[in-house]
Amino acid sequence: MLDKTLRMNYLYDFYQSLLTQKQRKYMSQYYLDDFSLGEIAEEFEVSRQAVYDNIKRTEVMLEEYETKLMLLTKFERRTAIVSEMKAAITNGATPEEVMSLLDSLENLN
C-alpha cells in the first residue's frame, strides 16, 4: 500500500479531469506543492476548516473513482508486467516467453 500522500498524488493525476476547478486548486496546492491548510485558506480568503472539508471530500471522491474505474490499480499491474518483460529481455528470454508476457499485458487492457 502506498503512503497516503503518494497515493493521493497518483489518484489526483488519474482523476483530476473529473474534479471542479476549486477542488483541483486546493488538491494541487496541498498535495503537489505541499502548502499548509492555513496557507491555502489565506490565499483563497476562506476558513481553514472550509479548505480542510473540501480536501477531505475530494479525497473520498478520488477513492470512489478508483473503486469504480481502477485506473491506478491497472496502471500498477501494467507497470509490473512491463518491468518483468524488460528484466526477461535483459536476461535473454526466448521470443515465446516475451510473447506470453505480452499476452498477459493485453488481457489487462
Closest of 36, 57, 58, 59 to residue 48, by C-alpha: 36
Is residue 80 close enough to count as binding a copy of itself by CB under 8 A?
A: no
Q: How far is the CB of 87 from a copy of itself (least distance, A)?
A: 11
Question: ∠ CA 73-76-81 to the nearest 5 degrees?
Answer: 130
The nearer residue to a copy of itself, 14 or 52, going by C-beta atoms, is: 14
Among 33, 34, 45, 106, binds a copy of itself (CB under 8 A): 106
| Binding interface with a copy of itself (CB under 8 A) | 15, 17-18, 68-69, 71, 75, 78-79, 82, 85-86, 89-90, 92, 95, 98-99, 102, 105-106, 109
